[in-house]
A and B are shown apart, each in its own frame.
Chain A
Amino acid sequence: MGARMSENAGFRAASDQSLLIYFGQQITREASENVRKLLRLLEREPIPGVRNLHPAYCSLLVKFDPLKLQHSELEGILRACLERMQSMDLPAPRVVDIPVCYGHEFGPDLKEVAALHRMTEAKVVELHTAKEYLVYFLGFVPGFAYLGELPEALVTPRLATPRRIVPPGSVGIAGNQTGVYPFVTPGGWRLLGRTPLAMFQKDREGLSLLAIGDHVRFSPITRERFVELEQQARKRPSSERGAFMPQPKVGSREASAQEMPGGKPA
């Protein structure tokens, strides 16, 4: 088993200071487990000269100091890690509940998603809240969790034209994924609702509400409950509220200096 793992993993230089490890080219629970096992091993026993790790669905990008390491050398070290990680156990997943107010101005795409699938809005909400999702990884922006998989009946293509501004807390779906936008960003996912919870908070242990490997359940709340929870969050001193969420003024020079040309937004 161990030998097969090392042979089946693919390595590819991404830049002169990073190396990608692929566990196949398909999004599977097995590939995701391998990503999480390797991440856990490298976080517990850091390789000298490795600077950063970017986990994703079925790959891990390892960024290193090019003055200290080379691709071939790092690949050798990582191959040995792949053998060792086979006997590792992943911790039992935490289950995190995220309250969501569906529809209204919070979920501007709920109506269209329902129409696309020829079901009622209530059915969309029922399907979205019925499953426990896996946090495959955090990426794109701080605290953005890629959650999967949506029930088959809810699989929906992303918007043809992404929104320029998605409010923080927005809960969206795209393909068979779902996720919550932590910050004001552009975004192409279809928005079903919004959570009053802060997804990424400066003074919180772990910073991000969600971590890789967590399980997530969405539960519907009323508009009144949303306002109540939001006010509770506001009442806390600003140091506890955490991340300042910039509201870019569209068209201002400062806003244009902060737009995101990073390409495919989540």
Chain B
Amino acid sequence: MNQIQVAAPGLLTTVQDLGREGFGPLGVSPSGAADPIALRIGNRLVGNPEASAGLEMTLLGGTFVFPEGAVAALTGSDFGAMLDAVAVHAWASFGVKPGQTLRLGPTRSGARCYLSVQGGIDVERFLGSASTHLLSGLGGLDGRALRKGDVLNIGNARGPSATATRKISTKTLELFAPRKILRVTPGPQSDWFSGAAQRTFYGATYRVTEEANRMGLRLEGPAIPEGAHRHASGEERGDASGEERGQMISEGVSLGAVQVAAGGQPIILFVEQQTTGGYAKIANVISADLSSLGQLRPRDEIRFEHVDFATARSLLFGQERLLGSV
């Protein structure tokens, strides 16, 4: 069986596909690629189904030896990849000859780079997905990040040969470029926050802290005033008294939810998120911008831009059309 030998794992490299949906009632979040657009394109470049498993590298890439060669592609951020002594272009498929070594370094752009190989990474599936869920130690390769000496199996390849290079045009790539102005729709407790709080949130620049990973991104910036937390139900919102401060009851939380924790700093929930939570959500990152979250690094500066649900929907449709044309 064709394999990949891990000579160096990089900072945090995991097996990811597009995640496992449907296990919220067990408290299991979907996990999956932090930048699913990059993984989907990588899979298309090597002739795999879009949801095949690849390797997700974080900030610092790994070194991989291919004893029997492979057809591969790198997508996402530029990690300065070298195949033996030759630089590798990202966003294009390339052939790896038997015995060659692919070496990646520190990122030169965003947080994550994806390695896709023809046939996909073949690991035992957990709840229908190859995705690693780090917190619970499930999925992927033994539920953990790769280590030196690991050997990964490559699935049966049925794609085009190594000579038929496929690539993404620069013009198309620009349309998928990660955004630093994240578009958001209102969150379920948006009306708990005062006008002043909303102005702070939409007007300020927030910095991504070191506590940014697959579970969530903690931000720092101007504190968002909590305001009067009133009951969120329709009946009580009309209550003019405003005397009664509502109690936030833990509820299901969505991917990309922007919750405001004690102290007024926002936290964005991400792919390996907790499934329920007890903080008020002022906004939610739109589906079309979720991939951008996967490329944010600590110390990056971001802003939030309000859009309505119809706009969020048409942006997603536009993105999917574009992906379909790649």
A18 closest partner in B (C-beta)? B254
Asked if B224 is at the interface of the complex by the 8 Å CB criterion, the answer is: no
Known: A139-B275, A243-B136. A261 touches B21 (CB 8 A): no
Interface pairs (26), CB distance under 8 Å: A13-B188, A14-B187, A16-B309, A17-B254, A18-B254, A22-B233, A24-B233, A25-B232, A25-B236, A52-B24, A54-B275, A58-B249, A59-B252, A61-B24, A63-B255, A66-B316, A139-B252, A141-B275, A183-B137, A185-B135, A200-B136, A243-B136, A244-B137, A246-B135, A261-B217, A265-B274
User: Which residues of A lie under 8 Å from residue B143 when comparing CB positions?
Assistant: 243-244, 246
User: Which residues of A lie under 8 Å from residue B93 when comparing CB positions?
Assistant: none
Complexed CA–CA distance, A25 and B186 (Å): 20
Asked if A120 is at the interface of the complex by the 8 Å CB criterion, the answer is: no
Other-chain residue from A16, A183, A258, A261 in contact with B316 (beta carbon distance below 8 A): A16
User: Which residues of A lie under 8 Å from residue B257 when comparing CB positions?
Assistant: 14-15
Known: A10-B233, A13-B188. A259 touches B21 (CB 8 A): no
Other-chain residue from A18, A39, A51 in contact with B22 (beta carbon distance below 8 A): A51
Asked if A257 is at the interface of the complex by the 8 Å CB criterion, the answer is: yes
B residues 151-187 near A (Cβ < 8 Å) are 185-187
Asked if B107 is at the interface of the complex by the 8 Å CB criterion, the answer is: no
A63 closest partner in B (C-beta)? B254
Inter-chain contact A144/B250, CB cutoff 8 Å: no
Inter-chain contact B267/A263, CB cutoff 8 Å: yes
A128 to chain B, nearest CB (A): 21
User: Which residues of A lie under 8 Å from residue B104 when comparing CB positions?
Assistant: none
Q: Which of A27, A53, A257 has the most CB of B within 10 A?
A: A257
Inter-chain contact B27/A14, CB cutoff 8 Å: no
Asked if A254 is at the interface of the complex by the 8 Å CB criterion, the answer is: yes
**CB-CB contacts of B304-325 with A at 8 A, as 1s and 0s?**
0000010011001100100000
3 cross-chain pairs, A with B, having the tightest CB-CB distances, nearest first: A61-B252, A54-B252, A139-B276
Inter-chain contact B211/A259, CB cutoff 8 Å: yes
Asked if A56 is at the interface of the complex by the 8 Å CB criterion, the answer is: yes
Inter-chain contact A52/B21, CB cutoff 8 Å: yes
User: Which residues of B lie under 8 Å from residue A81 when comparing CB positions?
Assistant: none
Inter-chain contact B287/A17, CB cutoff 8 Å: yes
Inter-chain contact B25/A55, CB cutoff 8 Å: yes
Asked if A106 is at the interface of the complex by the 8 Å CB criterion, the answer is: no
Complexed CA–CA distance, A61 and B320 (Å): 25
Binds A, one of B39-47, B63-71, B278-286: B278-286
Complexed CA–CA distance, A97 and B274 (Å): 26
B226 to chain A, nearest CB (A): 14
Inter-chain contact A257/B313, CB cutoff 8 Å: no
Inter-chain contact B267/A261, CB cutoff 8 Å: yes
A residues 237-255 near B (Cβ < 8 Å) are 243-246, 253-254
Complexed CA–CA distance, A263 and B21 (Å): 22
Inter-chain contact B58/A70, CB cutoff 8 Å: no
Complexed CA–CA distance, A146 and B234 (Å): 26
User: Which residues of B lie under 8 Å from residue A18 when comparing CB positions?
Assistant: 252, 254
Inter-chain contact A262/B274, CB cutoff 8 Å: yes
Asked if B202 is at the interface of the complex by the 8 Å CB criterion, the answer is: no
Asked if A256 is at the interface of the complex by the 8 Å CB criterion, the answer is: yes
Asked if B145 is at the interface of the complex by the 8 Å CB criterion, the answer is: yes
Inter-chain contact B316/A67, CB cutoff 8 Å: yes
Asked if B62 is at the interface of the complex by the 8 Å CB criterion, the answer is: no
Inter-chain contact A63/B145, CB cutoff 8 Å: no
Asked if A143 is at the interface of the complex by the 8 Å CB criterion, the answer is: yes
Known: A25-B246, A27-B249, A257-B58. A13 touches B316 (CB 8 A): no
Known: A52-B21, A53-B25. A264 touches B313 (CB 8 A): no
Asked if B26 is at the interface of the complex by the 8 Å CB criterion, the answer is: yes
Inter-chain contact A138/B25, CB cutoff 8 Å: yes
Inter-chain contact A59/B24, CB cutoff 8 Å: no
User: Which residues of B lie under 8 Å from residue A185 when comparing CB positions?
Assistant: 135
Inter-chain contact B27/A260, CB cutoff 8 Å: no
Known: A15-B284, A61-B253, A183-B137. A261 touches B12 (CB 8 A): no
B residues 213-269 near A (Cβ < 8 Å) are 213, 215-218, 231-236, 246, 249-257, 259, 261, 267, 269
Inter-chain contact A259/B28, CB cutoff 8 Å: no
Complexed CA–CA distance, A20 and B275 (Å): 13
Other-chain residue from B24, B216, B246 in contact with A53 (beta carbon distance below 8 A): B24
Inter-chain contact A262/B277, CB cutoff 8 Å: yes
User: Which residues of B lie under 8 Å from residue A207 when comparing CB positions?
Assistant: 26, 28
Inter-chain contact A144/B27, CB cutoff 8 Å: yes
Asked if B210 is at the interface of the complex by the 8 Å CB criterion, the answer is: yes
Asked if B273 is at the interface of the complex by the 8 Å CB criterion, the answer is: yes
Other-chain residue from A16, A60, A141 in contact with B252 (beta carbon distance below 8 A): A60
Inter-chain contact A56/B313, CB cutoff 8 Å: no
User: Which residues of B lie under 8 Å from residue A10 when comparing CB positions?
Assistant: 232-235
Inter-chain contact B274/A140, CB cutoff 8 Å: yes
B9 closest partner in A (C-beta)? A254
Inter-chain contact A14/B188, CB cutoff 8 Å: yes
Inter-chain contact A14/B250, CB cutoff 8 Å: no
With A18-B252, A143-B26 already in contact, 15 other A-B pairs whose C-beta atoms are closer than 8 Å:
A13-B309, A14-B257, A17-B254, A20-B188, A52-B30, A66-B287, A66-B313, A67-B317, A138-B26, A146-B250, A183-B137, A244-B138, A261-B211, A263-B259, A263-B261
A residues 16-43 near B (Cβ < 8 Å) are 16-18, 20, 22, 24-27, 39, 43
